[in-house]
């Protein structure tokens, strides 16, 4: 009896949380289909319209912002993987002086709020010609994506017994092949999860592209500001823009879900 | 198909000297056992041979050629790891076939299939080929790990305690199977690491006893058992371990006696050892008796034997371990469990001095042993 009560309470709590978490998204979706004149009525009955979406795509520049965001986010994640996977391996496997300090330094990228480091970064970017370039934004996104990938994958590499590597070497594979054929499949769940999370961080980043990019590299997050004009706020268009901009994240998460399985490394060694 | 020489190999990990100037020569087609306690450096030595660790000093030669500069994948050695080290993302078939897919040992697909089937049948895992390592029992994983090594025809097989994680019954069965495989289809040099003296004695053509990174003795099972080079080796083989006591050599009316517990007349030194012991610089020696060399009686009407008291009696099925205290010293004896002993019961010990082992008190090296009599082989073969 008591257990059933507890179960009920737990489910109710979960339901309440789900509503709390999902309602804003639902509200955003509803707004994106409303006319501006119905915007301030908190009623669920309205005449739906695609007007907001039409305006969004008619001007055409939104697609450009969207692609910009895709390039810089994907570029940042790919660069982080290329750099971070070997770094994570080295931090997990090799003993060298200052290993923990280096690992901690990577983590410390995330300590300071973005707004605190933005001014020096802005000056540096101006000086080096990185301001308002794709490379510059991808570069600064490493602060968001690299620590995550390194720290998640380091744990995965540490879990793989070195004997598996040795065994593969003795089977006649070079180190690089062992890395690609044996180690990468074993860290894949971690790689997929951390890459997805990094992508979301990069995709949703606002401060960096707002202040370190100008007209060339406008991302969707920054573009959303355009709907705040001096006299009015175009909530409908804003909601439509945001709705479209979360689509890649949702699609990626759905596609990647089946790779997010843990426990692949069990059974490698004595149990 | 390989002679393996190890010359002066030393390896240090931080402050631990794992291997200290190791010299070994392993002959072609030999089943060579590396035996020693945990942490003695056995695995490190295997890893040096495999090229996983690079020795600080010394060289490894395969068929007379140095292989120090070769990467593990270029050395043509196969290894079975203590923890099996299977590839968790590959099934049993792919695990066993892995060497034959590699750039170095690549075989045509059909050959790979046939070979995997042959090995799987040999190891009795042909029904498990589709399974993943996580779905196997420890005994099955161990066989897969063995299969991944056996599918190749390397110069040298390295086996690192492959049976240690199996339960006792399975271990026994696998030991017999391994011996069978070794004699029938494995005419390759094999180096087998173990800390189980029974495994060492039953499998090895020769045994190298290693302790704290140093080789204590290399010899056939008979040699290491009957003529141990040191007290360490003598104690390592046999259960219960050899009883070693410290005593002093004395002369009495032209004969040499050993003064143990102040009762030298119980311990006459055999005549043929006298010469050797006379030349030893010190009078203090350590003397070892295996359990079989100590007889025991509940009564001693003529006062011929050494008196002691039963300290504990631990039945283990057909046999039992009896611990006898004489003064402060305890003797461990393997006895029949049919006769039971009471704690503190008086007991009288008779020592077979003709089979005693005399060790130097300072270095622990074997000084002398009377002409050994064969026939007290302690292991089933």
Chain B stretch 150-169, residues whose beta carbon is closer than 8 A to a beta carbon of chain A: 165
Average pLDDT of chain B to the nearest whole number: 87
CA distance A150 to chain B (A): 22
User: What secondary structure letter does DSSP report for A183?
Assistant: I
CATH of the domain at B289: 2.40.50.140
Is residue B379 over pLDDT 60? no
Which of A169, A173, A266 shows the shortest C-beta gap to B88?
A: A266
Q: Of B178, B205, B230, which closes a domain? A: B230
Q: Which residue of chain B comes nearest to A165, CA vs CA? A: B85
- pLDDT band at A198; cut points 50, 70, 90: very high
Is residue B185 over pLDDT 70? no
Chain B environment of A170 (Cβ under 8 Å): 50, 72-73, 75, 77-79
Task: Please tell me whether residues B201 and B306 are part of one structural domain.
Answer: no
Q: In this complex, is the C-beta atom of B98 within 8 Å of any C-beta atom belonging to chain A?
A: yes
Q: Of B210, B230, B250, which closes a domain? A: B230
Is residue A258 over pLDDT 80? no
Chain A environment of B112 (Cβ under 8 Å): none
Worst-scoring range by mean pLDDT, B37-51, B160-174, B194-208? B160-174
Q: Which residue of chain A comes nearest to B140, CA vs CA? A: A270
Average pLDDT of chain A to the nearest whole number: 87
Alpha helices, H only, B76-137: 92-101, 109-122
Domains of chain A: 56-259 (1.10.3720.10)
The string of DSSP codes covering A153-182 is HHHHHHHS-HHHHHHHHHTT--HHHHIIII
Is residue A183 over pLDDT 70? yes
Task: Please tell me whether residues B186 and B259 are part of one structural domain.
Answer: no
CA distance A255 to chain B (A): 21
CA distance A148 to chain B (A): 25
**Average pLDDT rounded to a whole number, residues A232-244:** 86
At residue B370, the pLDDT reads 67
Task: Please tell me whether residues B172 and B35 are part of one structural domain.
Answer: yes
Q: In this complex, is the C-beta atom of A262 within 8 Å of any C-beta atom belonging to chain B?
A: no
Task: Please tell me whether residues B22 and B140 are part of one structural domain.
Answer: yes
Among B331, B361, B377, which Cα is nearest to B224's?
Answer: B377
Contact B89 A185 (CB under 8 A): yes
Q: In this complex, is the C-beta atom of B104 within 8 Å of any C-beta atom belonging to chain A?
A: yes
Q: Which residue of chain A comes nearest to B78, CA vs CA? A: A170
Task: Please tell me whether residues B199 and B304 are part of one structural domain.
Answer: no
Q: Which residue of chain A comes nearest to B47, CA vs CA? A: A166
CA distance B139 to chain A (A): 10
Task: Please tell me whether residues B250 and B303 are part of one structural domain.
Answer: yes
Q: Which residue of chain A comes nearest to B131, CA vs CA? A: A267
| Alpha-carbon distances of A245 from A48, A80, A235, A248, B139, rounded to whole Å | 20, 22, 15, 7, 53
CB A240 within 8 A of CB A52: yes
| Residue B379 counted as domain residue | no
Chain B environment of A177 (Cβ under 8 Å): 102-103
Q: Kindly report, residue by residue over B307-326, the tens digit of the pLDDT.
A: 888 999 988 888 889 999 98
More confident residue, B211 or B340: B211
Beta strands in chain B (DSSP E): 4-13, 16-26, 31-35, 57-62, 65-66, 77-80, 156-160, 189-194, 206-211, 214-219, 243-252, 255-259, 284-289, 294-297, 306-316, 319-326, 329-336, 346-351, 357-360, 366-369
Q: In this complex, is the C-beta atom of A184 within 8 Å of any C-beta atom belonging to chain B?
A: no
Q: In this complex, is the C-beta atom of B318 within 8 Å of any C-beta atom belonging to chain A?
A: no
More confident residue, A168 or B274: A168
| Residue B375 counted as domain residue | no
Chain A environment of B99 (Cβ under 8 Å): 171-172
Contact A174 B52 (CB under 8 A): no
Is residue A266 over pLDDT 70? no
Tell me the C-alpha distance between B115 and B109, whole Å: 10
Is residue B95 over pLDDT 90? yes
- pLDDT band at B46; cut points 50, 70, 90: very high
| Residue B374 counted as domain residue | no
Is residue A268 over pLDDT 60? no
Mutate to test the interface with A, among B80, B87, B139, B143 (most CBs of A within 10 A): B87
CA A40 to centroid of chain Cα atoms: 32
Mutate to test the interface with A, among B53, B94, B102 (most CBs of A within 10 A): B102
CATH of the domain at B95: 3.40.50.300
Task: Please tell me whether residues B20 and B125 are part of one structural domain.
Answer: yes
Is residue B329 over pLDDT 60? yes
Residue range of the domain that includes B286: 239-369
- pLDDT band at B92; cut points 50, 70, 90: very high
More confident residue, A233 or A81: A81
Which of B77, B132, B141 shows the shortest C-beta gap to A170?
A: B77
Contact B135 A168 (CB under 8 A): no
Which of B75, B78, B138 shows the shortest C-beta gap to A270?
A: B138
| Residue B270 counted as domain residue | yes
Chain A environment of B87 (Cβ under 8 Å): 164, 167-168, 182, 268
CB B2 within 8 A of CB B63: yes
At residue B177, the pLDDT reads 78
Among A149, A83, A52, which Cα is nearest to A110's?
Answer: A149
At residue B219, the pLDDT reads 94
Task: Please tell me whether residues B11 and B105 are part of one structural domain.
Answer: yes
Tell me how many residue pairs between chain A and chain B have CB atoms under 8 A apart: 95
Q: Kindly report, residue by residue over A100-134, the tens digit of the pLDDT.
A: 999 999 888 888 888 888 999 999 999 999 999 99
Which of B102, B105, B132 shows the shortest C-beta gap to A267?
A: B132
- pLDDT band at A38; cut points 50, 70, 90: confident
Q: In this complex, is the C-beta atom of A269 within 8 Å of any C-beta atom belonging to chain B?
A: yes
Q: In this complex, is the C-beta atom of A270 within 8 Å of any C-beta atom belonging to chain B?
A: yes
Residues 6+ apart with CB under 8 A from A81: A149, A191, A195
Q: In this complex, is the C-beta atom of A254 within 8 Å of any C-beta atom belonging to chain B?
A: no
Tell me the C-alpha distance between B160 and B156, whole Å: 13
Number of domains in chain B: 2
State yes or no: ipTM above 0.85: no
Contact B88 A265 (CB under 8 A): yes
Q: In this complex, is the C-beta atom of A266 within 8 Å of any C-beta atom belonging to chain B?
A: yes
- pLDDT band at B371; cut points 50, 70, 90: low
| Residue B178 counted as domain residue | yes
Q: Which residue of chain B comes nearest to A182, CA vs CA? A: B87
| Residue B347 counted as domain residue | yes
Q: Of B198, B230, B262, which closes a domain? A: B230
Write out the two tokens for B208: 């190298």
Task: Please tell me whether residues B77 and B225 are part of one structural domain.
Answer: yes
| Residue B341 counted as domain residue | yes
Write out the two tokens for B350: 């008779």
Task: Please tell me whether residues B115 and B176 are part of one structural domain.
Answer: yes
State the pairing for strand pair B206-211/B214-219: antiparallel
| Residue B376 counted as domain residue | no
Task: Please tell me whether residues B259 and B222 are part of one structural domain.
Answer: no
Which of B73, B133, B148 shows the shortest C-beta gap to A267?
A: B133
Task: Please tell me whether residues B286 and B258 are part of one structural domain.
Answer: yes
């Amino acid at each position: 009896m008591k257990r059933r009560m507890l179960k009920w309470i737990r489910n109710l709590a979960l339901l309440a949380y789900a509503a709390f978490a999902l309602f804003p998204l639902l509200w955003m979706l509803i707004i994106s289909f409303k006319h501006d004149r119905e915007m301030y009525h908190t009623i669920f009955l309205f005449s739906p319209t695609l007007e907001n979406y039409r305006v969004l795509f008619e001007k055409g520049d939104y697609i450009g912002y969207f692609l910009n965001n895709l390039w810089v986010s994907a570029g940042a994640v790919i660069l982080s993987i290329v750099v971070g996977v070997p770094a994570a391996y080295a931090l997990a496997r090799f003993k060298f002086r200052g290993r923990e300090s280096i690992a901690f330094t990577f983590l410390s990228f995330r300590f300071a709020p973005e707004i605190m480091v933005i001014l020096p970064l802005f000056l540096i970017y101006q000086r080096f010609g990185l301001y308002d370039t794709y490379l510059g934004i991808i570069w600064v996104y490493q602060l968001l994506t690299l620590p995550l990938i390194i720290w998640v994958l380091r744990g995965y590499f540490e879990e793989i017994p070195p004997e598996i590597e040795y065994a593969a070497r003795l089977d006649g594979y070079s180190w690089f092949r062992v890395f690609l054929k044996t180690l990468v499949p074993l860290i894949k769940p971690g790689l997929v999860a951390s890459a997805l999370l990094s992508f979301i961080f990069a995709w949703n980043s606002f401060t960096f592209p707002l202040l370190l990019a100008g007209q060339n590299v406008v991302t969707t997050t920054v573009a959303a500001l355009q709907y705040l004009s001096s006299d009015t706020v175009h909530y409908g268009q804003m909601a439509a823009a945001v709705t479209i901009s979360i689509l890649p994240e949702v699609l990626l998460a759905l596609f990647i879900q089946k790779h997010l399985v843990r426990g692949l490394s069990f059974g490698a060694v004595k149990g | 198909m390989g002679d393996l020489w190890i010359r002066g190999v030393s390896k240090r990990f931080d402050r631990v000297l794992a291997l200290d100037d190791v010299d070994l020569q392993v002959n072609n087609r030999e089943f060579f056992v590396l035996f020693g306690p945990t942490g003695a450096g056995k695995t490190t030595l295997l890893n040096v041979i495999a090229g996983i660790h690079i020795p600080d000093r010394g060289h490894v030669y395969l068929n007379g050629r140095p292989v120090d500069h070769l990467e593990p994948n270029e050395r043509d050695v196969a290894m079975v790891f203590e923890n099996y080290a299977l590839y968790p993302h590959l099934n049993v078939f792919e695990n066993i076939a892995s060497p034959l897919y590699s750039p170095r040992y690549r075989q045509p697909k059909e050959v790979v299939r046939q070979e995997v089937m042959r090995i799987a049948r040999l190891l009795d895992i042909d029904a498990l080929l589709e399974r993943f390592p996580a779905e196997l029992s420890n005994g099955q994983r161990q066989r897969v790990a063995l299969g991944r090594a056996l599918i190749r025809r390397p110069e040298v097989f390295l086996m690192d305690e492959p049976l240690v994680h199996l339960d006792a019954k399975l271990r026994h069965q696998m030991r017999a199977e391994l011996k069978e495989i070794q004699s029938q289809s494995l005419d390759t040099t094999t180096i087998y690491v173990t800390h189980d003296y029974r495994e060492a004695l039953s499998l090895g053509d020769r045994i190298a006893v290693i302790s704290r990174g140093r080789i204590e003795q290399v010899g056939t099972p008979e040699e290491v058992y009957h003529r141990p080079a040191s007290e360490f080796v003598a104690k390592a083989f046999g259960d219960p371990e050899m009883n070693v006591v410290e005593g002093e050599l004395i002369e009495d009316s032209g004969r040499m006696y050993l003064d143990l517990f102040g009762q030298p007349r119980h311990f006459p030194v055999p005549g043929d050892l006298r010469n050797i012991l006379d030349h030893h610089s010190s009078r203090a020696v350590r003397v070892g008796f295996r359990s079989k060399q100590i007889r025991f009686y509940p009564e001693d009407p003529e006062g011929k034997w050494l008196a002691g008291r039963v300290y504990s009696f631990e039945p283990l099925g057909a046999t039992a371990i009896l611990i006898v205290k004489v003064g402060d010293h305890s003797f461990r004896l393997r006895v029949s469990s049919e006769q039971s002993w009471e704690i503190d019961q008086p007991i009288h010990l008779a020592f077979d001095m003709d089979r005693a082992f005399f060790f130097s008190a300072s270095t622990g090296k074997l000084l002398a042993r009377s002409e050994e009599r064969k026939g007290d082989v302690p292991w089933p073969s």
